[in-house]
Amino acid sequence: MVPSRQAKSSKTVRRVLTGLVVGACLFAGLTGADAQAPAKQPAAAPQATPQVAPQAAPQAVPGFWDPRRRPERPDLSRLTVIRFLTETDYPPFNYTGADGNPAGFNVDLARALCEEIKVTCTVQMRRFETLVDALSSNRGDAIIASMAVSPQLRARVDFTDPYYRVPARFASRKDAVMPEIRPEYLEGKKVGVIAGSAHEAYLKAMFTDAELHPYPNDDAMRAALRKGEVDFIFGDAISLAFWINGTDSGDCCAFSGGPFVESRFFGEGIGIAVRKGNDVLRQALNWALFRVWEKGRYTDLWLRYFSVSPF
């Protein structure tokens, strides 16, 4: 089985990485009443080194760690090196830098974790579909490549706690933005969505009075919104944020309403994969993730890469 990213079916981020990088806001505890109630899978992205957008107004950063659940410091004496595996071409999360070395959000986070654990860190780039096999055959110790946690992958690898998630959101033309979206608000409205996606399944379950218009891919769906053929589109918020703030959108559109985060439809989040049973490394990485967040380094890293909130 080939591992999948969150929103793997939507291979679009690479084609829209021409504008600002995605931003962020507080996500800790964004469930139930905090999320919009009926509550990539990162997608593919262009072969280009992403531009890091300048920071504008201060903004909150997603916090996926509960300060009341501080992990105990594990025994780190058995760790002398961590060989990270990552993907070759998925900016801004993973890409080859101008110097030919691995770069991106995931790569910098891996290095921050190794600094926290005080262990030598290497990062090897491979094609995404080969990562799990490379891990299983001991050609690496951990995968940090925007890999979505799923029951199928849990059968092959163990995961750390999630270090980010991908919500779903609606987008509309700028002259029709709605601050809040509920099922009754979209009665009779035309909503574009990718055919066969989790987003379509969610709309069919929760927005039963909306008029769904399935499209074969993101380009067709977004073009329909840009042309006014649909009132809204619904999809992966990270991909949509790239598009909304990139040149391909022609500055036509914006998010409407807030994020939808129901894990039954939109996944458990993105974690670091380790070999089955490698609890020493998994616990060390969980501890280091918490420490990097607690010290504010995760915030600094997030703001360096992401400036427009998908939440």
Predicted local confidence at residue 63, as pLDDT: 67
- Residue 54 pLDDT greater than 60, yes or no: no
Predicted local confidence at residue 304, as pLDDT: 87
Q: What is the mean pLDDT of the chain?
A: 83
Percent of the chain with pLDDT over 90: 65
- Residue 26 pLDDT greater than 70, yes or no: no
Predicted local confidence at residue 103, as pLDDT: 96
Predicted local confidence at residue 82, as pLDDT: 98
- Residue 51 pLDDT greater than 80, yes or no: no
Predicted local confidence at residue 303, as pLDDT: 84
Residue 39 binned pLDDT confidence (cut-offs 50, 70, 90) = very low
> 111 or 4: whose pLDDT is higher?
111
Predicted local confidence at residue 245, as pLDDT: 87
Predicted local confidence at residue 210, as pLDDT: 98
Question: pLDDT tens digits for 228-251?
Answer: 999 999 999 988 988 998 899 999
Specify the range with the lowest mean pLDDT, choosing from 11-15, 63-67, 68-72, 209-213.
Answer: 11-15
Percent of the chain with pLDDT over 70: 79
Most confident of 27-31, 74-78, 301-305: 74-78
Predicted local confidence at residue 13, as pLDDT: 43
Q: Is the peptide bond before 74 cis (omega within 30 degrees of 0)?
A: no
Predicted local confidence at residue 170, as pLDDT: 97
The pTM (predicted TM-score) of the whole model is 0.75
Other C-beta atoms within 10 Å of 107: how many? 23
Predicted local confidence at residue 11, as pLDDT: 40
Predicted local confidence at residue 107, as pLDDT: 98
Predicted local confidence at residue 196, as pLDDT: 96
- Residue 3 pLDDT greater than 60, yes or no: no
- Residue 134 pLDDT greater than 90, yes or no: yes
- Residue 150 pLDDT greater than 70, yes or no: yes
